[in-house]
Amino acid sequence: MKTRLQVLNCEYAVRGEIVTIAQKLQQELKDNPGSHPFDEILYCNLGNPQALGQQPITFFREVLVLRDQPAILDRAGTRGLFGADAIERAHKIQDQIPGRATGAYSHSQGTKGLRDTIAAGIEARDGFRADPNDIFLTDGASPVRRMAFSVPFLSTRFIRLQLHSMVALLYLIILMKQWDGDWKFSELENQLETAKLNGISVRALVVINPGNPTGQVLAENNQREIVEFCKKEGLILLADEMLIGMPRCIRRMFMCRTSSSTHLRKSLVRWDTVKMISPLYLFTPCLKGIVESVENEEVTWKYLVRPEIKDQIYKVASVNLCSNISGQILASLIMNPPKAGDESHESYSAEKNKILSSLARHARTLEDAINSLEGIRCNRAEGAMYLFPRIQLPQKAIEAARAANTAPDAFYCRHLLNATGIVVVPGSGFGQVPGTWHFRCTIIPSEDKIPAIISRQEKFHEKFMDEFRK
Amino acid sequence: MKTRLQVLNCEYAVRGEIVTIAQKLQQELKDNPGSHPFDEILYCNLGNPQALGQQPITFFREVLVLRDQPAILDRAGTRGLFGADAIERAHKIQDQIPGRATGAYSHSQGTKGLRDTIAAGIEARDGFRADPNDIFLTDGASPVRRMAFSVPFLSTRFIRLQLHSMVALLYLIILMKQWDGDWKFSELENQLETAKLNGISVRALVVINPGNPTGQVLAENNQREIVEFCKKEGLILLADEMLIGMPRCIRRMFMCRTSSSTHLRKSLVRWDTVKMISPLYLFTPCLKGIVESVENEEVTWKYLVRPEIKDQIYKVASVNLCSNISGQILASLIMNPPKAGDESHESYSAEKNKILSSLARHARTLEDAINSLEGIRCNRAEGAMYLFPRIQLPQKAIEAARAANTAPDAFYCRHLLNATGIVVVPGSGFGQVPGTWHFRCTIIPSEDKIPAIISRQEKFHEKFMDEFRK
């Protein structure tokens, strides 16, 4: 139970005490303008781009809208308001949905026709066969974890503890990579040994790649090592590869930063050519809010996903009926966007590139600004929309935090918020190498907010360091 | 763990083995037309109206669509395709959503502006103050149960067992009402005593009203008894009152069937005038797929929802970020539909009444047909879209079922499916009075399917009873 609560605390970090304070400050600013030394709250805590001004892709929205209100699909006025290919795609999707109704529950794995489209998109991207019957569409990654650990095959209380232990373990791995330039494989083995010595019989490893909160990407050889490690130790590999499935160009932006130019192109599932000797299971989310689960084909049928196990997974999925239909449709659109020659192709590409180049600019600007601060070191964002700077806090600040019964990085983040209105997440909420302190901030605030964020953070940081210097 | 798996099996019933067989048959019919003695599968298993041809309400869809594609909100062509009040409402909702973005995560309890609208709708309906800060919008009822039982205050392993025990208990109560004309209060007390004797320290009672699978409504005095019982025993009351929050006219359809003409109008929360001496907590869903939780105000602040408990509930809610925004908007529209004088009021009323009168016709037709069958007795549908006929099976059928290692009602349902293509849910999947057998069927298939359902079921039933008569 203790572990479970720890994890609650951990996950809660992103929307926790700091956010509650931020909302209070926002209300105070509204009720009494001028009551704080800043005039707005700057949310850098959540990977929530559209809340911060990022515009949705028109083609995606057009198709969603035409599916939700098919009454206007064939009206004359519709052609003037929507792209011809969006209308055509909406018709196609209407045929894929049983009952042609987006207001109905779907198959528990997601609508079959949409899974067909997604499977074809994965095949085109990764170059191996993806079976739509092996794909489960869910509302984000949390239901996948719940599903995986509710399957009787996995469901003992011990397993729940293991999951959480392994999550903590994972973050350590990624931090290793971040600070030593590469990931220490021996650290993973050590953690497993420690867990075993503590009586935890480890059954699964969760890999989040690109990492959250670090934004770092596991190199190709590290990915291979992890797969081999899971085989050797008989672990289930749960791979949360959210950004892997995002339109390739979103990842391409980051690629120049990584040592290998290809290792981001495909998901871990490409290791299907390795002959597997132990269970291996992979969840490959394809965009924020939608998750698809793809099983390694060879492994699937030979070792892990014996039909009775897959039946159990389906059973657990069916308890919650199905994921939301708009999300399912969106997943199929992302895996099959407008192609060259389609009416919407040009606007789609322009909108997408605008988002990507803006993200790249933000990442560089924020990295540079943060790295210029005393005692802070920040790695380059490689594959996610997060930065996870490490901060060397003065001893007096650490002591003041302990006196206030707070983690030192949370102490720093609260001071930052109260002085500047900037909201970031303390690293202690995620788990970090003992004795180190971090905060996570996103690279997604809109262009016009960036200068304010940088100048306020600089001024605050200088003052904070001076105050606690000795 | 055993209990947990029992519950998995139970909830799975609605989409379980029978549905898997149905999908297989459907594929066979597609691949080899004429391969079965019927030409289509008739799904009467799931409360999924729009999958069976029920049309969505135009006004609701128009507002949703205009919110998802605000680019067209102010275009000239839009006025020709959408109602003026839908455009106005979409503008209003745009102002209620921070960042004006439906593609973003919201506050974990749901967007504040939408909760304001919902709270005002509850106040107007139930006549007591509803605080938007006490409302949590979720994706259906399952997350509410998970939330309630993850709160540290409640979260022991024992509680999980209790929840499930109490769910089973509840179904017994409703069946009592169904078969004896009224609900036996003593049965609830007996069940509680039995649970205590088995070492289960019961902490909560889940009430689903109107009942699922029975479609029955608890009379006003029974509701009062349950509230008093929870007070006396110190139980948390979790009230799943999905249909209570549906537009009142949907319920009015059923009202002529009940002894009291008013007891469906308001939720159990109206018992706020009763002085509470123990914790009481109520979840009041307001439509299929959307749940709002309303706390009894007086109780809330005096007894149960001390601020630190509410903080815990918020914490658990925030782990899964938020419910889907379209659902949140829909909840606000249902609690504040077009009013007399609004452009869409006439079409809204006409569409709604069409749905309701169709449901009422279906319910009567199916009830009468089922009650005419040998050995089957079916109560009137009072408040939900389900019928839950009790079936007296011949001894030989019961023995054949046991030989096949199947519950007798599941045996009947499987034979029904294989002979007719009709999909219903065995009562044994929900829990029923020992020694009785039922099936649940919905009243929502489209008008043109009803005659086929009735004639096929009649022919099958006669043959089945003859085959197993002696």
Of the ranges A268-282, B225-239, B316-330, which one carries the lowest mean pLDDT score? Answer: A268-282
Closest chain B residue to A13 measured between Cα atoms?
B319
pLDDT tens, B263-277?
Answer: 333 444 333 322 222
pLDDT tens, A121-166?
Answer: 877 766 666 778 777 777 766 666 666 655 544 433 333 333 333 3
Candidates A115, A153, A315, A329, partner chain B, best to mutate (most B CBs within 10 A): A315
Which of A61, A104, A139 shows the shortest C-beta gap to B69?
A61
Which of B390, B370, B393 lies closest to B468 in space, CA to CA? B393
The mean pLDDT of chain B is: 71
Q: What is the pLDDT of residue B272?
A: 32
Confidence of residue A54 (pLDDT cuts 50, 70, 90): confident
DSSP, residue by residue, A227-261: HHHHHHHTPEEEEE-TTTTS-HHHHHHHHTTSS-S
Q: What is the pLDDT of residue A260?
A: 29
Cβ atoms within 10 A of the Cβ of B358, count? Answer: 18
Q: Do domains B2-54+349-467 and B112-334 have the same CATH topology?
A: no
pLDDT tens, B124-141?
Answer: 766 666 778 777 777 766
Which of B348, B308, B298, B292 lies closest to B62 in space, CA to CA? B348
A251 or B395, which is more confident: B395
What's the CATH fold of domain A58-101?
Answer: Helix Hairpins (1.10.287)
Domain map of chain B by residue range?
Answer: 2-54+349-467, 58-101, 112-334
3-state secondary structure B91-123: HHHHHHCHHHCCCCCCCCCCCHHHHHHHHHHHH
Reply yes or no: is the peptide bond before residue B56 cis, omega within 30 of 0.
no
Which of A308, A314, A289, A313 lies closest to A108 in space, CA to CA? A314
Contacts of A321 in chain B (CB under 8 A): 15, 140
> In this complex, is the C-beta atom of B81 within 8 Å of any C-beta atom belonging to chain A?
yes
Q: What's the CA gap between B451 and B321, in Å, rounded?
A: 46
Q: What is the pLDDT of residue A386?
A: 81
The mean pLDDT of chain A is: 71
How much of chain A exceeds pLDDT 90, in percent? Answer: 23
Which of A4, A12, A103 shows the shortest C-beta gap to B318?
A12
* Non-local CB neighbours of A363 within 8 Å, separated by 6+ positions: A380, A381, A387, A443
Candidates B69, B310, B328, partner chain A, best to mutate (most A CBs within 10 A): B69
How much of chain A exceeds pLDDT 70, in percent? Answer: 61
Does A101 contact B50 at a Cβ distance shorter than 8 Å? yes
Does B324 contact A326 at a Cβ distance shorter than 8 Å? yes
> Which of residues 138 through 177 in chain A touch B, CB cutoff 8 A?
139-140, 142, 150, 152, 155-157
Q: What's the CA gap between B392 and B408, in Å, rounded?
A: 10
A219 or A288, which is more confident: A219
> In this complex, is the C-beta atom of A81 within 8 Å of any C-beta atom belonging to chain B?
yes
Does B51 contact A98 at a Cβ distance shorter than 8 Å? yes
Closest chain A residue to B74 measured between Cα atoms?
A81
User: Are B328 and B98 within 8 A, CB to CB?
Assistant: no
Q: What is the pLDDT of residue B188?
A: 75
> In this complex, is the C-beta atom of A6 within 8 Å of any C-beta atom belonging to chain B?
no
**What angle do the packed helices B220-233 and B185-197 form, to 10 degrees?**
30
Which of A4, A105, A139 shows the shortest C-beta gap to B48?
A105
Contacts of A141 in chain B (CB under 8 A): none
Reported ipTM: the value is 0.73
Residue B283 pLDDT greater than 50, yes or no: no
Homologous superfamily in CATH for domain B2-54+349-467: Aspartate Aminotransferase, domain 1 (3.90.1150.10)
Helices of type H across A32-83: 58-68, 78-81
DSSP, residue by residue, B286-350: EETTEEEE---HHHIIIII--HHHHHHHHHHHHHT----HHHHHHHHHHTS---TTSTTHHHHHH
> In this complex, is the C-beta atom of B24 within 8 Å of any C-beta atom belonging to chain A?
no
Closest chain A residue to B69 measured between Cα atoms?
A61
Candidates B19, B75, B158, B321, partner chain A, best to mutate (most A CBs within 10 A): B321
Contacts of B49 in chain A (CB under 8 A): 104
Residue B469 pLDDT greater than 60, yes or no: yes
Q: What is the pLDDT of residue B37?
A: 93
pLDDT tens, A266-310?
Answer: 344 333 322 222 223 333 333 222 222 222 222 222 223 445 556
Q: What is the pLDDT of residue B294?
A: 27
Q: What is the pLDDT of residue B420?
A: 96
What's the CATH fold of domain B112-334?
Answer: Aspartate Aminotransferase; domain 2 (3.40.640)
B177 or B56, which is more confident: B56
Confidence of residue B383 (pLDDT cuts 50, 70, 90): low
Confidence of residue B291 (pLDDT cuts 50, 70, 90): very low
Q: What's the CA gap between A281 and A165, in Å, rounded?
A: 18
Q: What is the pLDDT of residue A310?
A: 64
Q: What's the CA gap between B48 and A207, in Å, rounded?
A: 37
Q: How many contacts (CB atoms, under 8 Å) link A and B? A: 125
> In this complex, is the C-beta atom of B74 within 8 Å of any C-beta atom belonging to chain A?
no
